[in-house]
């Protein structure tokens, strides 16, 4: 099958993604209960026994809720940077030392034929990261939970074939919503979440290469809708003079309650 992935769940209620190659399968984040993760994986005909490792982006509960129980049950090596380990240790419970793996931010490692690249992002966690996954010349990038797309992140995301990109909120819906202003200010800030407009602006600079599909992810249940996110991103792209034929570039959905279909990433 080569490099492939499924977003098991995406949003404030929990996040988890599976990436697989011919010889490696990994889970990124475990923000739902272990039982729910198992159910979602079963829908895509895999189980925890198929996994080789678990990678953590940051310590917020919607990314690590089921991590401890899931990692212990399947004896999975868990990779995170040192600050994230310190921040999440009490939440996830005891993890056997042999399973605790330090992956420094901006480092690279390989599991069989899967290359994993970690990169720093801007979010209100101790040391949040995104990941890029490469195999057989193909590149998949995961970029969610970031307040803005820095030049460094932009360089990291270049030459992606497929991307999972945050499109968290519609700014007007958020401003008019019921959240207290301090929470709105956090979401809108540079260490918050990426808006639909910001996602579109980032893509305007990334679409000159091989990028063919972008999964809009981590949508707010209260302050966004998938159709609105797609419309806004497309409008921003068109405002920047970028137009596509139907088969050249596709914006894809993610879901909070069900996994995406397997997507094979080709160079």
3-state secondary structure 49-87: HHCCEEECCCCCHHHHCCHHHHHHHHCCCEEECHHHHHH
Contact present, 127 and 81 (Cβ < 8 Å): yes
What the block records as the tokens of 248 is 């050249």
**Weakest mean pLDDT among 10-14, 37-41, 184-188, 195-199:** 184-188
pLDDT per residue as tens digits for the range 103-122: 999 999 999 999 999 999 99
The pLDDT score that the predictor gives to residue 244 is: 67
% of the chain beyond a pLDDT of 70: 99
CA 128 to chain centre: 11
User: Looking at the predicted structure, is the pLDDT value of residue 34 above 80?
Assistant: yes
CA 39 to chain centre: 20
Number of other residues whose CB lies within 10 A of the CB of residue 221: 10
Number of other residues whose CB lies within 10 A of the CB of residue 222: 12
pLDDT per residue as tens digits for the range 8-28: 999 999 999 999 999 999 999
The pLDDT score that the predictor gives to residue 179 is: 85
Burial class from Cβ neighbours inside 10 Å (0-12, 13-18, 19+) for residue 33 reads middle
The pLDDT score that the predictor gives to residue 177 is: 80
Q: Which residues pair with 27 in a beta bridge?
A: 18, 54
Q: Quick one: pLDDT band at residue 249, thresholds 50, 70, 90?
A: confident
Average pLDDT rounded to a whole number, residues 46-70: 97
DSSP H helical ranges for the chain: 34-43, 61-64, 67-74, 82-92, 151-157, 171-176, 181-188, 196-206, 226-239
Q: In what order do the strands lie in the sheet with 4-9?
A: 100-102, 78-80, 53-55, 25-28, 16-20, 4-9, 263-264
The pTM assigned to this predicted structure is 0.95
The pLDDT score that the predictor gives to residue 178 is: 83
Average pLDDT rounded to a whole number, residues 116-140: 97
User: Looking at the predicted structure, is the pLDDT value of residue 251 above 80?
Assistant: yes
The pLDDT score that the predictor gives to residue 47 is: 97
What the block records as the tokens of 178 is 């019921």
Measured CA to CA, the distance from residue 243 to residue 1 in angstroms comes to 31
The pLDDT score that the predictor gives to residue 174 is: 86
Domains of the chain: 4-264 (3.60.15.10)
Orientation angle between helical segments 226-239 and 196-206, nearest 10 degrees: 50
User: Looking at the predicted structure, is the pLDDT value of residue 69 above 60?
Assistant: yes
More confident site: 184 or 120: 120
């Amino acid at each position: 099958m080569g490099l492939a992935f499924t977003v098991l769940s995406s949003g404030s209620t929990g996040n988890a993604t599976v990436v697989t190659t011919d010889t490696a399968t990994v889970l990124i984040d475990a923000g739902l209960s272990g039982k729910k993760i198992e159910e979602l994986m079963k829908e895509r005909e895999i189980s925890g026994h198929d996994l080789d490792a678990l990678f953590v982006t940051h310590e917020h509960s919607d990314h690590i809720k089921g991590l401890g129980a899931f990692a212990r049950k399947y004896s999975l090596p868990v990779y995170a940077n040192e600050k994230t380990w310190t921040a999440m240790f009490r939440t996830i419970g005891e993890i056997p030392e042999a399973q605790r793996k330090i992956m420094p931010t901006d480092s690279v490692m390989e599991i069989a034929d899967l290359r994993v690249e970690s990169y720093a992002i801007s979010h209100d966690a101790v040391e949040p990261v995104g990941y890029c996954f490469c195999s057989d010349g193909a590149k998949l990038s995961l970029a969610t939970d970031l307040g803005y797309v820095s030049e460094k992140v932009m360089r990291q995301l270049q030459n992606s074939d497929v991307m999972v990109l945050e499109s968290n909120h519609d700014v007007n819906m958020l401003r008019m919503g019921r959240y207290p202003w301090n929470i709105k200010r956090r979401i809108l800030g540079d260490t918050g979440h990426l808006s639909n407009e910001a996602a579109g602006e980032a893509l305007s600079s990334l679409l000159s290469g091989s990028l063919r599909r972008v999964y809009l992810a981590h949508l707010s249940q209260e302050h966004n809708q998938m159709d609105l996110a797609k419309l806004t991103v497309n409008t921003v792209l068109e405002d920047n003079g970028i137009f596509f034929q139907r088969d050249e570039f596709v914006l894809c959905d993610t879901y909070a309650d069900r996994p995406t279909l397997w997507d094979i990433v080709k160079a």
